[in-house]
Each structure stands twice: as C-alpha cells, then as structure tokens.
C-alpha cells in the first residue's frame, strides 16, 4: 500500500466542517464577520442606544424634544482555537482511517470548547420571562416576545 499524503488544507477543511456541523447553536446567533482580525489583537465593538420621543405637531410647529444617542463599548480580544495531534506513516499504513478519526476527535474537542464558552455567554443575558401563569405555551411565547425591545 502506497503512503498517501493529505494536504493540511484538506485536514483543516474537514475539521472546520466538523466544528460547524456539531456546533448547532449557529441558529441562535448572528456571526459578526467584522470582528475578523489576527489572533491576539483587540477589537472594540460599539453599542448605540437611541432615546427620544415622537411628538404630534401642528403644521409649522417645531419639535420640543430632541433625540440622543448613548454610546457604550466592549473590547474583545480575538482568540484562535487550535487542536493538534500526532501520527506517523506507520500509523497510517497500519490503519488508513486514523487521520479521519483524529480529525473528527479534534473537531469535536474544539466544538465542545466553543459551545461551552457560548453557553457561558448566554448565561449573562438578563432578559427573562416567567411563563408559569400562561394558559398555553403559545401564550407564554407571545407574552415573552412582547416583552422584548421593539426595535434595535
């Protein structure tokens, strides 16, 4: 059996696919690709909150209340997730499937780490709703959604 070398790009693509497949929380958040930068660098993310009221005015009348924007920011350090493993040509000759098994294990290890960090961040969210007094699950969901901020 001839030794078959696997390019690093193929292994990287396989592990990325495993992470994206097993990381089933993607439907719960929006990926912000503007955060892309080199590992170790810091990225400042701004959050703007608009305050102001709408006024009904007669023709020609001027507003008495002006809107304002409050600005807060968070600094995030860009991190790199990486997993490595060792094998040699003797391992591959003895079991050609070893690279697939190692890649699968590395992808799952990274997935578990990212998922744990994701749910840790979710636990910091202060929005909550007690739906125990609702007549149905549907009513509880409607009431919970009604309690969210109307527009971002």
Nearest to 18 by CA among 79, 83, 91: 83
The pLDDT score that the predictor gives to residue 68 is 93
The pLDDT score that the predictor gives to residue 152 is 46
What range defines the domain where residue 60 resides?
A: 8-146
Query: Does residue 69 surpass a pLDDT of 90?
Result: yes
- Residue 102 structure tokens: 């190692």
C-alpha span between 104 and 19 (Å, rounded): 9
Half-sphere exposure (Cβ direction) of 149: Cα atoms closer than 13 Å: 7
Classify residue 29: in a domain, yes or no. yes
Query: Does residue 6 surpass a pLDDT of 60?
Result: yes
Classify residue 39: in a domain, yes or no. yes
Classify residue 2: in a domain, yes or no. no
Classify residue 61: in a domain, yes or no. yes
Classify residue 76: in a domain, yes or no. yes
C-alpha span between 68 and 52 (Å, rounded): 6
C-alpha span between 152 and 145 (Å, rounded): 14
Classify residue 152: in a domain, yes or no. no
User: Looking at the whole model, is its pTM more than 0.75?
Assistant: no
The pLDDT score that the predictor gives to residue 39 is 64
Classify residue 105: in a domain, yes or no. yes
Classify residue 151: in a domain, yes or no. no
- Top pLDDT among 109 and 136 is at 109
pLDDT in tens, 25-55: 656 665 666 656 666 678 788 889 899 888 9
pLDDT in tens, 71-126: 999 888 777 778 888 888 888 889 988 888 988 888 888 888 888 888 887 778 77
The domain total for the chain is: 1
The average pLDDT across 119-144 equals 77
């Amino acid at each position: 059996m001839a030794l078959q070398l696997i390019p690093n790009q193929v292994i990287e693509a396989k592990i990325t696919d495993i992470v994206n497949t097993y990381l089933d929380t993607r439907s719960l958040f929006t990926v912000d690709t503007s955060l892309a930068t080199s590992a170790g660098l810091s990225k400042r993310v701004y959050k703007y909150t608009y305050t102001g009221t709408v006024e009904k005015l007669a023709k020609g009348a001027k507003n008495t209340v002006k809107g304002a924007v409050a600005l807060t920011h968070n600094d995030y350090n860009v991190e790199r997730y990486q997993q490595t493993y060792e094998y040699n040509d003797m391992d591959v000759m003895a079991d050609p499937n070893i690279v697939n098994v190692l890649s699968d294990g590395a992808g799952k290890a990274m997935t578990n780490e990212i998922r744990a960090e994701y749910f840790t961040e979710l636990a910091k969210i202060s929005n909550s709703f007690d739906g125990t007094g609702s007549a149905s699950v549907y009513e509880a969901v409607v009431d919970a959604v009604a309690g969210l901020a109307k527009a971002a």
